[in-house]
Amino acid sequence: MKQVIFFLFILLISTFSLAQKVDVKDTIKAAAFQNFDVPPFVLTNIMRIDYTVDLLDASLQKIRECKNLTQKPKKEDFAKATSGGRGTTFILFIKESIEQTGSFYIRLSVKASGELGSLTKEFFYLVNVDNPTIASAVNLRPKYFYGEQGTFSFATVEFGDINAYSFKIEDGGRTVLTGVGPIVSLDTVLNNIEFVGKQLAITGMYNGKEFTFKNAKNEILKSSWQITIDKPSLTEFAGWKTVNKDDKGEEFYISIDNPKDREFLFTYIGNTPTGFVVVKPKFKNYRVTSDFEGLVNGLTNYDAGSFSYLVLQINEDVYSAIPVGQSQDIKISLTFSTQFENNVKKEFRATIIR
């Protein structure tokens, strides 16, 4: 057992030493997923050449063949360029992209012959791959309100091709929005009532793939985020006393003769870090009940500004029957549905002065 461990240790040391002894022609810094260029490889007075290009890991083990190669002159033109026994200048351009971070090698194996002799050699390029750095902080909150506007960017310093960025927004695995570029506008989903109460997944991609990046704190993060869209809170304004569990039952006087005391204003309000969002309710199936039988005939509805109004329709005959100078306690219940919720019930009370 000790001999096996010793052998593995010697093998590891030998592999490490081999990697260190590689004659590196050039060192390249790149970001994961970034398309990078290897410095052009040039030979002069060449009459014949064969080559292979491979991507190796840090231990010089082959990962795959590099295929994004361009040579000058082209293969189909090489024979013409060397006709008559004259050599030509050969230039090889290598483009690559590595998805993982770490140290890698690009190995160029060449067999060539020319006017000055033959060449059989391997050339190595060291590629140090790091995570890209986000260009600016991702200005994205985990929670938004319906009706808000929001935009953020996931552009990085290293990824320079603006059209290689893309994004998608998903609802439970169903793609609901896609786009090109690193700037994501959330306006479409934030103003779609279908997504209220849901969690949406946002994925930023480069060359069609999700990536990891470094932020200003040098933290490694994924280019994916989640947001929830909440409805704002329904808020009412009325001249009546709202009935709730903290109601102490103190007297609260109003005059039905005042048209404002017949109106109940509603709006949805959500407080955001930079202000607030207001959404006008859309009432349906609204109705009113009262413990003073016959006084209230029903409701009408109209909109003004950011508010939606429910207005009491008073039976003037019943109201006129209340003796002048006297008061009448009354409780009403408003029941309605909106675009966000069903069967909302609001209770109010007051003492009517005649």
Q: Give the pLDDT confidence of 151-163 residue by residue, as tens digits.
A: 999 999 999 999 9
Instruction: Using the structure block, give the residue that is written with the tokens 């593995």.
Output: 8
Total domains present in the chain? 3
Residue 50 located in a structural domain: yes
Helices (H), the chain: 2-21, 75-81, 187-190, 316-320
Q: What is the CATH number of the domain that holds 225?
A: 2.60.40
60: left (phi over 0), alpha (psi -120 to 50) or beta: left
Shared domain for 260 and 318, answered yes or no, is yes
Mean pLDDT of 73-96: 91
**Domain co-membership, 238 together with 347:** yes
Is the residue at 10 inside a domain? no
Return the C-alpha torsion angle 62, 68, 74, 75, nearest 10.
Answer: 40
DSSP state of 13: H
In a domain, 213, yes or no: yes
291 within domain boundaries: yes
pLDDT recorded at residue 14? 42
Instruction: In whole angstroms, give the CA distance from residue 135 to residue 130.
Output: 15
Name which of 317, 275, 310 is nearest 145 in CA terms: 275
Q: What is the pLDDT of residues 253-266, one digit of tens each?
A: 999 889 999 999 99
Domain shared by 63 and 167, yes or no: no
Q: Place 248 in a pLDDT band, splitting at 50, 70 and 90.
A: confident
**Angle made by CA atoms 101, 106, 109, in degrees to the nearest 5:** 165
In a domain, 298, yes or no: yes
pLDDT at 221 over 80: yes
Cβ-proximal residues to 203 (8 Å cutoff; 6+ apart), any chain: 167, 168, 169, 170, 210, 223, 224
Confirm whether 295 is domain-assigned: yes
pLDDT tens, position by position, 192-203: 999 999 999 999
3-class SS string, 126-177: EEEEECCEECCCCCCCCEEECCCCCEEECCECCCCCHHHEEEEEEECCEEEE
Q: What is the mean pLDDT of residues 87-106?
A: 96
**Distances, alpha carbon 125 to alpha carbons 17, 54, 104, 271, 322, in Å:** 17, 11, 8, 55, 98
Residues 6+ apart with CB under 8 A from 210: 203, 204, 222, 223, 224
pLDDT of 7 higher than 80: no
Residue 17 lies in a domain: no
Average per-residue pLDDT for the chain: 91
Residues 218 and 125 in one domain: no
Task: Judge if 243 and 335 occupy the same domain.
Answer: yes
Rounded to 10 degrees, what is the CA torsion of 82, 86, 89, 92? 30
The confidence band for 140, taking pLDDT boundaries of 50, 70 and 90, is very high
Would the pLDDT of 337 be above 60?
Answer: yes
From the list 282, 280, 270, the residue with the least C-alpha distance to 305 is 280
Q: Which long-range contacts (CB under 8 A, 24 or more apart) does 333-336 make?
A: 333/288, 333/289, 333/290, 334/264, 334/286, 334/287, 334/288, 334/299, 334/310, 335/285, 335/286, 335/287, 335/288, 335/289, 336/283, 336/284, 336/285, 336/286, 336/287, 336/310
Q: What's CA 10's distance to the chain center, in Å? A: 49
The token pair at 207 is 């060359």
| Residue recorded with tokens 């793939």 | 209
Final residue before a domain boundary, out of 198, 230, 262: 230
At residue 6's C-alpha, the angle toward residues 5 and 12, to 5°, is 90
Same domain assignment for residues 112 and 124: yes
Place of tokens 């030509």: 88
Q: How many residues does the chain have?
A: 354
Residues 224 and 237 in one domain: no
Arithmetic mean of pLDDT, 53-73: 97
Residue 338's Cβ-count burial label (10 Å; 0-12, 13-18, 19+) is buried
Q: Which domain holds residue 99?
A: 22-130
84 pLDDT tier (thresholds 50, 70, 90):
confident
Q: Are residues 103 and 203 in the same domain?
A: no
Q: Are 306 and 277 in contact (CB under 8 A)?
A: no
pLDDT tier for residue 4 given thresholds of 50, 70 and 90: very low
How far is it, in rounded angstroms, from Cα 156 to Cα 223?
11
